[in-house]
Structure formats: C-alpha cells, structure tokens
Structure 1
C-alpha cells in the first residue's frame, strides 16, 4: 500500500490558473502538497488535486482510494492523471 503524508504546514490550498486554448476558457486548478513514500530514504513531494470549494486534507497519513486507479490500454494498473482521491490510512494493530 502506498503511504502518503500531509504535514501540518501543508494543510492549505494553492491555486493556479491554466490559460484556455482553442477558444476554451481558462480554468483554476486547486491542489495541496503531500509527500509520497516511494523507494529511498525520504518521501517525495507530490500534489493532490482538490475540487473547487473542497477543504484541504488534514495533517496525517493517507493512501490512494481505489477509485484513483485505472486499467490502461496495456491492461496494467496505473494512477489516474486527474481525479485522484486520498483516504486516511488505517493504522495496523
């Protein structure tokens, strides 16, 4: 299971405006910093996208919700590019 951590300093939303192309309107992207534990000694910074009006995730440990994965054209599982959701990581007893 992939472990993600949101630190108390990162309980905030950042936004950026993506300019529209081909006559489409610009759109605002909302995200929050989090750290994913991959190989290696230290976690890696990642961005978790939020919906407009969504509260930021609280500090704590999370993992990706099963709806954040798709089966690609090669029948392999991968994370979605957009629409990923994180859920609290249950503590093992």
Structure 2
C-alpha cells in the first residue's frame, strides 16, 4: 500500500500563479505538500493538486483512493496527474 503522510506544518494550501504567454490564458494552481513513503529510508516530498476551495488534508497517513488511478493508452496502471483523492489509513 502506498502511504502518503501530511505533517502539521503542511496543513495549508499553497497557491501558484501561471502567467499567460503565447496566447494562452494564465492559471492558478492550488496544491499541498505531502510525503510519499516509497520504501526508502526517508519519505519523498510531493505535491497534491487541490481544487480551488478544497480544504487541505489534515495531519496524518493517507493512501490514494482507487479512483486516483487509471489505465493509460499503453495498458499500464498509473496515478492520475490531476484529481488525486486521498483517504485516511485507519490504524
């Protein structure tokens, strides 16, 4: 099971602005810092995309919900880039 951990200091939404260029409109990106436990000695920092008014995830351990995965054009399983949903890991 893939574990994603949120620490107290990361219980906030970080907002980034993408400036318009080459005729494309700008965007606002909402994200939260989390840490993925990938089997190494230390967890790896990652970013979780959030919706505009989404409340950030609270401190704790989570696992990606089944809807966060998809089968790509080559028939392989992959994590969705946008729309990842985390569910708490129960002790």
Establish whether TM, by shorter chain, passes 0.5: yes
Name stretches of at least 5 consecutive residues in structure 1 with no aligned partner. none
> Which residue does 1:54 correspond to in 2?
54
Question: d(CA) in 1 for partners of 2:19 and 2:89?
Answer: 35
Kindly state the Cα deviation for residue 7 of structure 1 after the two structures are TM-superposed. Answer: 0.4
Kindly state the Cα deviation for residue 83 of structure 1 after the two structures are TM-superposed. Answer: 1.2
Kindly state the Cα deviation for residue 21 of structure 1 after the two structures are TM-superposed. Answer: 4.2
> Which residue does 1:37 correspond to in 2?
37
Please show how residues 13-92 of structure 1 align to structure 2 within 5 Å: 13-91=13-91
Deviation string 1:4-60 (CA, Å, 9 cap, x unpaired) is 100001101101011234433211000000000002100000001110011111000
Aligned residues: 91
Name stretches of at least 5 consecutive residues in structure 2 with no aligned partner. none
Kindly state the Cα deviation for residue 81 of structure 1 after the two structures are TM-superposed. Answer: 1.4
Provide the TM-score with structure 1 as the length reference. Answer: 0.90
Provide the TM-score with structure 2 as the length reference. Answer: 0.92
Paired residue secondary structure (1:4): strand
Runs of 4+ in 1 over 3 A off after TM superposition: none
Question: d(CA) in 2 for partners of 1:73 and 1:21?
Answer: 30
